[in-house]
């Protein structure tokens, strides 16, 4: 038996569990080519960084005790015995009464008789083999060995997504290659007799196909390889052939668009009823109510509604759950981060969880959400003209009032869902 009319949270959990049970394989990549990938190994630093005590500024290193009396009125003169640059350190030590020029990031030589500090170049001047200090040297300007990274310590873990910062961190730890999850393989099958390609002239009752390019672009933007994409007519046999081809192409997840509602010509509904092993059918959400998840001959299939808004919202909130889980992500997905804001006007009460397209603004008073004027799931431009989803949880007998706090699921994937 399958689950029917599940809550959005339950749908998310079922999809996450299904994705986690079907992890994608791993591959080894040069660290510079791993941007956006999900790590599959622990990465410990191979080195200390800095490799020794280094200078936080351009200046002169000396014993703290030697520089302590220095001031504008009573400058201190020390013998200049060498220079230390990044990659070309001074090889000796600093004796009492001596100083060494040190560049920012250069190793600071050890002192022969105590603690060493650095005074900035703006408080010193060189004169005939000596340096004259007008301010005491500070030990705080010396960064200790391993302050940033310590050899053997783990800084990146399986499930971490490698953004620019993480790629740089892995390289800084000395890793030339990293083991990452391979890209999930996705198929997108759009259904509908009414769909025609952009650039042609629509006939009576025909519309341009927009779901297919939208979802293909969304999948690629999310780091997936699209291995099959196309349109089929409202014919169960044609849909079954498309799913066979998607499976043969190695798809980890097939997305169907449309054909899953209660009408007379619903090919997805026919295929899932005749051949599918249904996990859940329908979600108590708007938009996205017809969303259905099933398996056919071992292929996971997520059936998205056909309305443009519904299909994209369902991809971002539910398809991504499956894909993130099969990648092994452990960091909170951006669409699940909870953010609270203030409503500008009432939201209609509903027996379902409603994802209202809205615009987020932030000023000195905090965050404010303005719901989009037309919440029809057929108004695709609303996604372009909105920046977030205001999530109104089912709450019987209560109307969302102006100024009520609401959670946000950013339509661009920057924040997530919560409770109103």
pLDDT for the residue 410: 44
Q: How far apart are the first and last CA of the chain?
A: 32
Is 418 a residue whose pLDDT tops 50? no
Is 405 a residue whose pLDDT tops 50? no
pLDDT for the residue 343: 83
Structure tokens at 320: 């991504």
pLDDT for the residue 126: 97
pLDDT digit string, tens, across residues 279-313: 999 999 999 999 999 999 999 999 999 999 999 99
Tokens 């108590």 — which residue? 284
Q: How confident is residue 15, by pLDDT bands cut at 50, 70 and 90? A: very high
Is 333 a residue whose pLDDT tops 90? no
Q: Is 390 within 8 Å of 343 (Cβ atoms)?
A: yes
- Average pLDDT for 207-232: 94
Rg, Å, the chain Cα set: 31
Q: Which of 225, 211, 415, 217 is nearest to 326 (CA)?
A: 225
Is 130 a residue whose pLDDT tops 80? yes
Is 409 a residue whose pLDDT tops 70? no
Q: How confident is residue 344, by pLDDT bands cut at 50, 70 and 90? A: confident
Is 121 a residue whose pLDDT tops 90? yes
pLDDT for the residue 143: 97
User: What domains does the chain contain, in order, with CATH numbers?
Assistant: 3-24+183-327 (3.40.980.10), 34-46+153-181 (no CATH), 54-143 (2.170.190.11), 336-409 (2.40.340.10)
How buried is 39 (Cβ within 10 angstroms: 0-12 exposed, 13-18 middle, 19+ buried)?
Answer: buried
Whether the pTM exceeds 0.75: the reply is yes
Per-residue H/E/C for the chain: CCEEEECHHHHHHHHHHHHHCCCCCEEEEEHHHCCCCEECCCEECCCCECCCCEECCCEEEEEHHHHCCCCCCCCEEEEEEEEEECCECCCCCECCCEEEEECCCCECCCECCCCEEEEEHHHEEEECCEEEECCCCEHHHEECCCCCECCCCEEECCCCECCHHHHHHHHHCCCCEEEEECCCEEEEEEECCCEECCCCCCCCCCEECCHHHHHHHHHHHCCCEEEEEEEECCCHHHHHHHHHHHHHCCCCEEEEECCCCCCCCCHHHHHHHHHCEEEEEEECEECCCCCEEEEECCEEEEEECCCHHHHHHHHHHHHHHHHHHHHCCCCCCHHHCCCEEEECCCECCCCCEEEEEEEEEEECCEEEEEECCCCCCCCCHHHHCCCEEEEECCCCCCCECCCCEEEEECCCCCCCCCCC
Q: Distance of alpha carbon 309 from its chain centroid, rounded? A: 22
pLDDT digit string, tens, across residues 88-105: 999 999 999 999 999 999
Q: Is 140 within 8 Å of 118 (Cβ atoms)?
A: no
> What distance in Å separates the CA atoms of residue 32 and residue 166, rounded to the nearest whole number?
11
What is each CA distance from 108 to 93, 147, 153, in whole angstroms? 9, 14, 24
> What distance in Å separates the CA atoms of residue 326 and residue 113, rounded to the nearest whole number?
59
């Amino acid at each position: 038996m399958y689950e029917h009319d599940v809550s959005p949270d339950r749908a998310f959990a079922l999809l996450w569990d299904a994705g986690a049970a079907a992890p994608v394989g791993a591959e080894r990549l040069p660290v510079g080519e791993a941007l956006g990938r999900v790590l599959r190994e622990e990465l410990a630093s191979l080195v200390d960084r800095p490799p020794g005590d280094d200078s936080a500024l351009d200046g002169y290193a000396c014993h703290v005790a030697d520089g302590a009396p220095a001031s504008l009125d009573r400058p201190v003169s020390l013998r200049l015995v060498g220079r230390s640059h990044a990659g070309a350190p001074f090889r000796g030590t600093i004796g009492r009464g001596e100083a060494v020029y040190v560049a920012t990031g250069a190793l600071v030589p050890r002192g022969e008789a105590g603690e060493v500090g650095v005074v900035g170049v703006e408080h010193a001047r060189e004169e005939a083999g000596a340096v004259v200090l007008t301010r005491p040297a500070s030990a705080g300007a010396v960064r200790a060995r391993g302050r940033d990274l310590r050899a053997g310590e783990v800084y990146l873990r399986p499930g971490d997504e490698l953004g620019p910062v993480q790629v740089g961190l892995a390289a800084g730890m000395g890793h030339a290659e990293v083991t990452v999850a391979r890209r999930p393989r996705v198929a997108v099958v759009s259904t509908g007799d009414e769909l025609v390609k952009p650039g042609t002239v629509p006939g009576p009752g025909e519309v341009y196909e927009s779901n297919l390019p939208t979802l293909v672009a969304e999948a690629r933007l999310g780091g997936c390889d699209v291995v099959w994409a196309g349109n089929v007519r409202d014919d169960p046999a044609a849909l079954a052939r498309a799913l066979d081809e998607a499976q043969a192409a190695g798809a980890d997840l097939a997305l169907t668009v449309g054909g899953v509602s209660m009408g007379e010509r619903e090919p997805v509904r026919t295929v899932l009823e005749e051949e599918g092993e249904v996990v859940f059918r329908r979600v108590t959400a708007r938009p996205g109510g017809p969303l259905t998840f099933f398996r056919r001959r071992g292929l996971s299939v997520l059936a998205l509604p056909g309305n443009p808004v519904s299909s994209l919202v369902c991809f971002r909130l539910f398809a991504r759950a499956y894909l993130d889980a099969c990648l092994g992500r452990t960091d909170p997905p951006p669409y699940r981060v909870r953010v609270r804001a203030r409503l500008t006007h009432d939201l209609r009460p509903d027996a379902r969880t409603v994802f209202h397209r809205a615009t987020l603004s932030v000023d000195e008073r905090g965050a404010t959400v303005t719901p989009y004027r037309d919440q029809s799931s057929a108004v695709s431009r609303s996604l372009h003209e909105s920046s977030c989803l205001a999530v109104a949880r089912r709450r019987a007998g209560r109307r969302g009032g102006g100024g009520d706090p609401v959670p946000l699921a950013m339509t661009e994937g920057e924040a997530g869902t919560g409770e109103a």
